[in-house]
Structure 1
Amino acid sequence: MGFPNTTESLGAERRLEGEIPFACDHRSAYQDEEQKCPVFTDLNIGNALSGTELHVQLLLYTRENHDCSEKLIEDDVAASGYLNTSKKIVFVIHGFRPTGSPPVWLGNMKKLLLSSEDINLIIVDWNRGATTVNYKAAVQNCRKVAEILKNYIDQMLVGGASLDSVYMIGVSLGAHIAGFVGKKYNGKLGRITGLDPAGPSFTREPPEHRLDPTDAQFVDVIHSDIDVYNYLLDITTWNKSTRRGFIKVKIIDYAGNTVESQMNRLQLCRYDFVLMEGTELTFKPIPCSERGT
């Protein structure tokens, strides 16, 4: 990560090769601690019925370990063998999990993000805490998750990361968790993307109790299924630091034709996750008859 390597020869070698001197050797204590690849917590409806105590684990993927995650140590992030604080740090935060199963979209999102850019990709697994039939219990855990994430980020900042390079993608309740983290840094995170932010328990709340456009330098929200379960942010795409306005949305219709428009709300039956390049978003809508989980 961004902390000096104790092996001077290794640091000197990397400097000669033009690499950053603070990237740790992959032969870290992590591999001694866990030989197997940590995986996202897989629970079931029985766990949801009985309820789960909050437990958060952060699974790090990079292009060097894209098939085998590294679990970050909560009190010793610097021990990571893969985290490179000179690169963008992207957090993906899931939401309410009433059945306990891992999100079906997680694998595709991981592949897309890592193939699009050389980043640190961190999957925030709070399935223990999100898996419950009691939605309000999951809501109450959101601020706790945000506090835990702040602890990790603080250590990354000490190791050389910048708030500008931190990007949080939150789905459902995860969108509000991202907002709570952003508030802890006074809106200085680089970017927050909310995917279908949860509506219940948030819709009528003031900005300090939900995702808000002021929670990061750039906040964008994608609504794929607008109903009582989703929260409509008044300004869903807003860059308060530079462009100060709505982004251009490119929509590819079912026939493959491109339709461009200035939009602040996008209604689709389902989205395939896309990345923003500059100020343009590209979506391929999926017919409602093919709607999935």
Structure 2
Amino acid sequence: MLRLSFFFSLICLVKTDTDETCPSFTKLSFHSAVVGTGLNVKLMLYTRKNLTCAQVINSTILGNLNVTKKTTFIVHGFRPTGSPPVWMEDLVQSLLSVEDMNVIVVDWNRGATTVIYNHASSKTRKVAEVLKKFIDQVLVEGASLDNIYMIGVSLGAHISGFVGKMYNGQLGRITALGYKEPLGNIDFYPNGGLDQPGCPKTILGGLQYFKCDHQRSVYLYLSSLRENCAITAYPCDSYRDYRNGKCVNCGMPQKESCPLLGYYADNWKEYLKQKKPPMTKAFFDTAEEKPFCIYHYFVDIITWNKNIRRGSITIRLTDRAGNTTESKINHEPATFQKYHQVSLLARFNQDLDKVAAISLVFSTGSTIGPKYKLRILRMKLRSLAHPERPQLCRYDLVLMENTETVFQPILCPKLQM
């Protein structure tokens, strides 16, 4: 999903985009989408000198653009109703808040606005050619290809890719938001890359049913620009392996760091800076609402039942202030064998620093038949996000099926693995 385009001669005075006090993104109506629009590309520059008031620029008028700084292009996609992207202003301001750079909004709404997707997609190469001409001029003025960064959404991702190909893959970076197949040096798959939590599951959800999952990539990228949410992803061959805790060694003590989603993804590993780095798939889960962060823990359980038990575990954490967060580890049944440790990957919406109480519920998923017991010799809770935190343990527990068992954890012995 994740990677790392009529002239009328009138005897009157016409006010152009460049005459606007603060040029705005082109607003069109659904009528325009029905009748179709001819392509017109408008480049709007934002910098820290003009944070909220764009400058319309082109290859001969660069405005406040500083060729010695990073230049980030934001390229939107298909616009079936003609309305401006609701996320555009937030993305511009967030980028400028984290780095002093040039941010250029590529407004090709006149061209992207149509109810026929193929009509919009047929214009993408022309948009890329416009951007190529502009970048060529910026390079003449002293800019570097290494400082060119393109963020493309949906068809905008295709445009960004076309521009990258025109420069033989020498652009500094491309982030493509809106494609399932692996294409980049690193591809991020939130929640497996399919249905996103919090999005409507049926057509009864209205317009959000059609665009929520697709648009989530933009909002996840935005979350990476906020200090209170750094989403960690885990390189893995499959989503199932990730959910089963087989791919979360990165970030642990004496291990390599894990990649971060979004803006800071290119900080991960030196090989991303190589000329031909390998392709990597990374998986992670998110919460239903902003800022979408999920906090991972391992729940290590050793049982002493004579017979094998299969089922799921629900774990709830409570801190000293009474805040609670819960994780249902039920994507597939776990198999508990006598004296065999099972490590379950738990995902919480909150990260509670001082855990005062833990509760566990064991379930086989059966609504009829006998109720089972899960006899726990030892339970251990360890944080992946903060491996330096003390690990919490509890010994000799008996869980009655579908019954919540609450207890106070103790610190695990330091020598315990």
For the superposition of Structure 1 and Structure 2, which TM-score range results when normalised by the shorter chain? 0.5 to 0.7
Aligned match of 1:128: 110
* Shift, 1:81, TM fit: 2.8
Code of the residue aligned with 1:261 in structure 2: it is Y
Aligned match of 1:44: 29
Aligned partner of residue 70 in structure 1, secondary structure: strand
Matches within 5 A, 1:234-273: 261-263=234-236
Aligned match of 1:275: 263
Whole-Å separation in 1 of the counterparts to 2:188 and 2:135: 25
Whole-Å separation in 1 of the counterparts to 2:53 and 2:154: 26
Which one has the largest radius of gyration?
Answer: 2
Whole-Å separation in 2 of the counterparts to 1:67 and 1:226: 35
Aligned match of 1:234: none
Instruction: Describe the shift of the 1:263–1:70 C-alpha distance in structure 2 as closer, same or farther (beyond 3 A).
Output: farther
Code of the residue aligned with 1:56 in structure 2: it is V
Code of the residue aligned with 2:234 in structure 1: it is S
Length-normalised TM-score, structure 1: 0.63
Code of the residue aligned with 1:70 in structure 2: it is Q
Q: Which runs of 5+ in 2 are unaligned?
A: 1-17, 196-209, 212-223, 240-260, 270-281, 293-417
* Shift, 1:140, TM fit: 0.5
Compare the two structures and name the one with the higher strand fraction. Answer: 2
Q: In the alignment, does 2:63 pair up with 1:56?
A: no
Code of the residue aligned with 2:41 in structure 1: it is V
Whole-Å separation in 1 of the counterparts to 2:130 and 2:47: 22
* Shift, 1:284, TM fit: 8.1
Whole-Å separation in 2 of the counterparts to 1:63 and 1:107: 14
* Aligned partner (choices 170, 185, 194) of residue 226 of structure 1: 194
Aligned partner of residue 25 in structure 2, secondary structure: coil
**8 A Cα contact 2:188 2:283, kept in partner:** no
Code of the residue aligned with 1:146 in structure 2: it is A
Whole-Å separation in 2 of the counterparts to 1:212 and 1:109: 23
Whole-Å separation in 2 of the counterparts to 1:66 and 1:257: 24
* Shift, 1:264, TM fit: 7.4
Aligned match of 2:73: 91
* Aligned partner (choices 69, 86, 94) of residue 54 of structure 2: 69
Whole-Å separation in 2 of the counterparts to 1:257 and 1:161: 30
Instruction: Describe the shift of the 1:286–1:34 C-alpha distance in structure 2 as closer, same or farther (beyond 3 A).
Output: farther
Code of the residue aligned with 2:45 in structure 1: it is L
Instruction: Describe the shift of the 1:46–1:264 C-alpha distance in structure 2 as closer, same or farther (beyond 3 A).
Output: farther
Aligned match of 2:257: none
Structure 1 moving runs of 4+ over 3 Å:
219-227, 256-260, 263-266, 280-284
Aligned match of 1:13: none
Code of the residue aligned with 1:226 in structure 2: it is L
**8 A Cα contact 2:232 2:284, kept in partner:** no
CA deviations 1:142-198 (Å, max 9, x no partner) are 10000000000000000000101000000001111000000000000000000113x
Whole-Å separation in 1 of the counterparts to 2:75 and 2:231: 31
Code of the residue aligned with 1:85 in structure 2: it is V
* Shift, 1:274, TM fit: 4.0
**8 A Cα contact 2:73 2:105, kept in partner:** yes
Instruction: Describe the shift of the 1:220–1:179 C-alpha distance in structure 2 as closer, same or farther (beyond 3 A).
Output: farther
Instruction: Describe the shift of the 1:84–1:258 C-alpha distance in structure 2 as closer, same or farther (beyond 3 A).
Output: closer
* Shift, 1:286, TM fit: 3.9
Instruction: Describe the shift of the 1:263–1:96 C-alpha distance in structure 2 as closer, same or farther (beyond 3 A).
Output: farther
Q: Which runs of 5+ in 1 are unaligned?
A: 1-32, 204-210, 214-218, 231-250, 267-272
Whole-Å separation in 1 of the counterparts to 2:69 and 2:136: 16
Aligned match of 2:143: 161
**8 A Cα contact 2:233 2:283, kept in partner:** no
Code of the residue aligned with 2:87 in structure 1: it is W
**8 A Cα contact 2:32 2:113, kept in partner:** yes
CA deviations 1:181-216 (Å, max 9, x no partner) are 00000000000000113x7xxx7xxxxxxx954xxx
**8 A Cα contact 1:195 1:221, kept in partner:** no
Whole-Å separation in 2 of the counterparts to 1:35 and 1:260: 43
Code of the residue aligned with 2:264 in structure 1: it is M
Aligned match of 2:170: 188
**8 A Cα contact 2:189 2:284, kept in partner:** no
% identical aligned pairs: 47
Instruction: Describe the shift of the 1:265–1:129 C-alpha distance in structure 2 as closer, same or farther (beyond 3 A).
Output: farther
Aligned match of 1:206: none
Q: In the alignment, does 2:49 pair up with 1:34?
A: no
Instruction: Describe the shift of the 1:258–1:89 C-alpha distance in structure 2 as closer, same or farther (beyond 3 A).
Output: closer
Deviates more, 1:138-147 or 1:256-265: 256-265
